[in-house]
Structure formats: C-alpha cells, structure tokens
Amino acid sequence: MSYQHSLGERARVRLAREGGVAYMPALARPREIAFHECSLSQRKRVCKLLDEAEQLKCPGDQAGQGDQRYFRIIIMPVGSENEVITLHVPERRAPESLVALWEKGPGD
Amino acid sequence: MKATRNNPYGVIPPHLLNYLIEHGNDRHRRCALNTLTLDSRFRARTERHTSPTDARRGARGEPLRYIFDAGNTMELPGRQVRREGQRSTGDEAVDEAYKDLGATYRFFWEVLGRNAIDDEGGALLGTVHYGEDYQNAFWNGYQMVFGDGDGEIFLSFTRALDVVAHELTHGITEREAGLVYYNQPGALNESVSDVFGVMVAQYDASQTVEEADWSIGRELLAPNINGTGLRSMSQPGTAYDDPLLGRDPQPAHMRDFVETNEDNGGVHINSGIPNRAFYLTAMALGGHSWERAGKVWYATLTDDRLANDAEFVDFARLTLDNAEQLFEGGEVREAVRGGWQGVGVEV
C-alpha cells in the first residue's frame, strides 16, 4: 500500500534523527509536517519518501544498535497521536532526500 | 564476487545490493531497492563487508589493529592507513585510534584475560575521518567508526579513550550477552559500554576510584560548550546544560526512570541508573575499580545465565551472585548490594 493513496489532508508526519553515542535532546531536531499546510506537490514528495522509507526501515531495536544513528519517522494518518505508524530508517541507508526533509522541510 | 546457486536474489548477491542502497547514488539505490524482494527476513539482516583482515588472528596478548581512513566520505571501511606494528602516520585521528584500541586491548587482556572482541585474537578494525563534520562514533557489528566532529560542539571522537573503549565493548556485549538494544536491556547494554570504557581510561592512567573523574567523553566537547562530558557516572544528569545540546537527561535513580519511545526506549538515558550503581560499588570498595567491581561486572556480562532481555534487577542479582563466587568474605557482595540499593534497584 502506498502512502500516496492512504494519507489525506489531516495527516501529520514527525521526523527526528536519533541514536548516537549520547542522547542529546537538542541534536534530534524533530520536524513536524502538517499535510494541510502543504501543497499537493509537497504532499506527494513526502509520501514518495515515506514509501521509500517503508522499504528501508528496520526493527527499532536494530536501528540504533552500537550507537548508530537513525531516523525515526512517526506517521499520524489522522493527525493525532492515537493512531501512529513508526518507521526506523538507519542513517547509513537513508536517502539524501530524507535527510533534506529532516533538515529543511518539504521544500517548495 | 561470484553468486552462488543458493542465492535467492539472482546474480547480484544481497550484500552488494545492500551496499548500493547504503552507498550508491539515488539511481543505484532505486535500482537496488527494486531488485530486492521485500522479504522481512532480508531486511532484518545485517550484512557485513568481508575483507582480507577477517581471518587474521593476533598472537595471544598482542593486539592486531587495522586503521582505515574514510576520507570524509561514508564509505566503509575506507583506505587502510596503518596496521599492527607500523609507525605513527602523523595523522592525529589515525594515531589516536591506533593507540586507544591498543590500550583497550591491553585492559581486557591484562585484567580480564580476554583476547580481543571475539576472545580469539580477532582483528580490531577502526575507521577515522568518517563523513563530514560527523558528530558520532559507533560500532556497526563489524568495526568501530569515528567522526571528526564539527569543531563547534564536538571535537574528533578519537580524542576520548573511554569512548573508543565504549565502542569496542559494544562488540564484546554483542558476542556475549547480546543484550537487546531497547528499553532496560538496551540501557544495560549502554551502561556496560560506559563501565568498561571508564575502567579502560582509569587503568591506562593508573587512577584509583578517588582520583578518577567518572565522566565519559570529557575530551569530546568543544571549549565553548557548557559541560564536562557526554555523561557523568557519579552524578548522572549533570554532564552538560547548553543551548546547543540541551540538558543532560540521565536519571540517577529508579524513581526518576524515564519512559520514552525516543532513543530506543531511552537506552542512553536510563543507563545513568546502572552506571551509578557501578560507581557506588567501586567507591565503596575503594582502590582500583577494575580489581573487584570490574571483575564482578565482567563475570556478569559473560555469565550464561544473563538473558538478552535482562532488566536492571536481573543483572543486579547476577552481579551479587558473581561477587559471592569470585570474592570470599561477603565484603564485595555487600558493596554490590549497596550500589544497586543506592539507585533504587532492590536485591
């Protein structure tokens, strides 16, 4: 199932880079993307990245093993924390576009 | 490399596809992804890149070190720049990694009789200059990797012997208890790395428990950062408080245990609790931490009864049992008990 078909206007996505030899709150720099604030092309871009993240993900307890960094993606299909899908993508597998989404947001 | 008939992924072996996913450009990545079946067994698998150093073994009591330079890329292992017995290169990170891996080997061999990570004299592999301004060091299941830091928050990760030893210890834990990297077993995994990391540094400096500062990564923080290191084992939660890093979130006692989904369920956060238990035990015993407290912790890490999903109380009970088996008279056992009780773990 593609996120392009399952996420609507109410969806929110939270993305943080975690892991590493120490947990330092300010370095995780979580970013939240609210779909209702995004254009159609931005949403499509984010959904495409989420589809890719689905293929690159690994179990949570393996993502950070040995102090390796990873991206934790929380997908809230209806915009609330009652229903969430969590993906862990190891940093070494993360595409540049995912890193850019975390650093700069969904772009123009 | 030749594909075998058993390879279910076709002509291209899965480790090569994994490599393309991790290191290729966007087109390579996409092609590799399309080639892979979405078999969860495969996705969960950790592929290792083999190299000619794999089969080599050091002489008993002698380390076998290989240092690689990633050239500020994220390619592993990178170019080999120094191997066992070769002279210093003049590159600070290369020579620090070489020296620190040697000091860590020496500790495990001389104090605990362990012959390298695998206890079979296997090679110690370290890559330096990983990534650009990379603010981390890690163990990837096969080797240690060190970033240069960005210079503003972190300096080079090879500067801190305790951090190098922390990463090497992850390799040992993986081969021994295999503590699951999540929640309490994950925090124990992290704590064990800190415990042996700090002992390696104390052993190298011939420090008693009173002389040691009990901080992890003191040398890593840039001069303008308000902090004394990455963690404090004596006073968890006090290592740093800085706008660029935030505030050290470690608890020192079970009453402050942090329930969280972040950081693999708080593995680097709640490790403050067993860290302080070790500190309290070592301080109660006095002298050198590795002489008694360290031996109890090592016996516990290598104890077949330690389950990979052990919680703090399970680990604590085994430390008590090992203290009794290793040292007569009850003094060590009671120091260990006091250590755990001091952090709210009742044994």
Domain locations in chain B?
Answer: 14-175, 183-343
Inter-residue contact B175 to B117 (CB < 8 Å):
yes
Residue B319 has pLDDT above 80, yes or no: yes
Helix (H, G, I), strand (E, B) or coil at B203: helix
The predicted structure's pLDDT at residue B150: 93
Distance CA A53, CA A62 (A): 15
Which positions 69-98 of A are in contact with B (Cβ < 8 Å)?
69, 72, 86, 92-93, 95-97
Query: Is the CB of A68 less than 8 angstroms away from the CB of B138?
Result: yes
Distance CA A78, CA B292 (A): 55
High-pLDDT (> 90) share of chain B, %: 83
Inter-residue contact A32 to A5 (CB < 8 Å):
no
Lowest mean pLDDT among B6-20, B100-114, B285-299, B303-317: B6-20
The predicted structure's pLDDT at residue B5: 34
**Tens digits of per-residue pLDDT, B320-332?**
999 999 999 999 9
Domain B183-343, CATH class in plain words: mainly alpha
Mutate to test the interface with A, among B181, B242, B247 (most CBs of A within 10 A): B181
The predicted structure's pLDDT at residue B337: 98
High-pLDDT (> 70) share of chain B, %: 84
A61 pLDDT tier (thresholds 50, 70, 90): confident
Instruction: Tell me if chain B has a CB within 8 Å of the CB of A34.
Output: no
**Tens digits of per-residue pLDDT, B106-160?**
999 999 999 999 999 999 999 999 999 999 999 999 999 999 999 999 999 999 9
The predicted structure's pLDDT at residue B20: 53
Query: What one-letter code names the amino acid at B40?
Result: S
- In SS3 terms, A69-100 reads as EEEEEEEECCCCCCCCEEEEEEHHHCCHHHHH
Candidate list B129, B166, B170, B268, residue with the active-site label: B268
Instruction: Tell me if chain B has a CB within 8 Å of the CB of A104.
Output: no
Residue B39 has pLDDT above 90, yes or no: no
The predicted structure's pLDDT at residue B28: 54
Query: Is the CB of B264 less than 8 angstroms away from the CB of A19?
Result: yes
Q: What DSSP state is assigned to residue B228?
A: S
Residue B121 CA to its chain's centroid (Å): 18
Distance CA B295, CA B286 (A): 14
Average pLDDT of chain A, as a whole number: 93
The predicted structure's pLDDT at residue B54: 62
Lowest mean pLDDT among A23-37, B175-189, B248-262: A23-37
| Annotation says B268 is catalytic | yes
| Annotation says B176 is catalytic | no
B94 pLDDT tier (thresholds 50, 70, 90): very high
- In SS3 terms, B239-301 reads as CEEECCCEECCCCCCHHHCCCCCCHHHHCCCCCHHHHHHHHHHHHHHCCCCCCCHHHHHHHHH
B279 pLDDT tier (thresholds 50, 70, 90): very high
Lowest mean pLDDT among A19-28, B99-108, B195-204, B265-274: A19-28
Report the pLDDT averaged over residues B245-252.
96
Top-confidence residue, B31 or B209: B209
Report the pLDDT averaged over residues A16-20.
94
Structure tokens at B114: 């362990």
Lowest mean pLDDT among B5-9, B261-265, B305-309, B333-337: B5-9
Query: Is the CB of A57 less than 8 angstroms away from the CB of B266?
Result: no
The predicted structure's pLDDT at residue B282: 98
Q: What is the pTM of this model?
A: 0.88
Query: What one-letter code names the amino acid at B180?
Result: V
Residue B10 has pLDDT above 90, yes or no: no
Distances from the Cα of B256 to the Cα of A66, B19, B252, B272, angstroms:
25, 42, 7, 10
Mutate to test the interface with A, among B138, B188, B218, B242 (most CBs of A within 10 A): B138
**Tens digits of per-residue pLDDT, B181-239?**
999 999 999 999 999 999 999 999 999 999 999 999 999 999 999 999 999 999 999 99
Query: What one-letter code names the amino acid at B73?
Result: T
Helix (H, G, I), strand (E, B) or coil at B223: coil
B12 pLDDT tier (thresholds 50, 70, 90): very low
The predicted structure's pLDDT at residue A77: 94
The predicted structure's pLDDT at residue B36: 43
For B14-175, CATH gives 3.10.170.10
Top-confidence residue, B207 or B40: B207
**Tens digits of per-residue pLDDT, A69-108?**
999 999 999 988 889 999 999 999 999 999 999 999 998 7
Distance CA B154, CA B36 (A): 38
The predicted structure's pLDDT at residue A5: 87
Query: What one-letter code names the amino acid at B110?
Result: E
